[in-house]
Every structure is written in C-alpha cells, then in structure tokens.
Amino acid sequence: MKSIEKVDRIVHNYKTAPFMPYIDADGREIPGQQFVQLDDTFPEGAGFTLYRMAPGSSSQPHEHTCHEQFFVIEGEVVDNDGFVYKPGDFVLLKTGTQHFSTTETGATLVVFVRELERNL
C-alpha cells in the first residue's frame, strides 16, 4: 500500500480551523456566522462544512433544495418552531423544509448539503 500524499489529505480541527464569514446566496455577509469549507469539490457552502454561530445570532430563513444533515458539536441551536438541538444531536431536515435557527449560547455544527439552499 502506498503512502498518502500531502495533496491527497485535508485535515481541519474545528477548534483551530480558518473560519471565514458566511455569505448568503445574495452575496450579503450574515453577522455572527462563519464557516470552513471542508470539501472543495463542492460549491462554497455545500458539501461538508464547519458552521459556527456566535451567541445571539440567527440564520437566514431558507428552504432546503436537498436533505440537510448536521451534527451539533457544541452549543445549542433552536429552530423557528422551538425545537432545540443539543451537543451530540444528528439532524436530517428533508428536501423542501423551510426554517431558520437561532442560538443564545453560540454553536458549532458539522453540516452536509449536496447543493445550496434557497433564501426565503
């Protein structure tokens, strides 16, 4: 078995990763939200991403064009219907789901979507 070449391995640690400001589909920076693109074979914001929400921030209302899957690493996230996601929760929101999320504590998530969502 041959060794894995440096160009064939990408490693990010969510505590030290180079987070960038989150820009919505309309090109606007969303305050209190940052991300790290983990898989550059997808368009920015799709594929696997680390997503960080600052305390007191909220995501934009949006509709999923495919299933969204996320795992809460730390903090709590509350959906617009009041459902609370806590550390250790894996969540799948199906295609067509419309929602937005808030956090009082701040949160870090690992998110996977195949394609970008649609702003509402």
What tokens appear for 25 in the block? Answer: 């589909």
User: Closest by alpha carbon to 52, among 84, 8, 88, 15?
Assistant: 15
What tokens appear for 24 in the block? Answer: 């919505």
What tokens appear for 19 in the block? Answer: 């987070």
pLDDT band at 22 (very low <50, low <70, confident <90, very high): confident
Q: Count CB atoms within 10 A of the CB of residue 117.
A: 22
Look at domain 17-119 and name its CATH class: mainly beta
Q: Looking at the DSSP assignment, which residues form a beta bridge with residue 23?
A: 29
pLDDT, tens only, 47-103: 899 999 999 999 888 888 889 999 999 999 999 999 999 999 999 999 999 999 999
Question: Could you tell me the maximum CA-CA distance found in the chain, to the nearest angstrom?
Answer: 51
Q: What is the C-alpha separation between 26 and 18, in angstroms, rounded?
A: 23
Q: Where are the domains of the chain?
A: 17-119
Only one residue has tokens 């030290």, namely 16
pLDDT, tens only, 29-56: 888 999 999 888 888 877 899 999 999 9
Question: What is the model's pTM?
Answer: 0.85
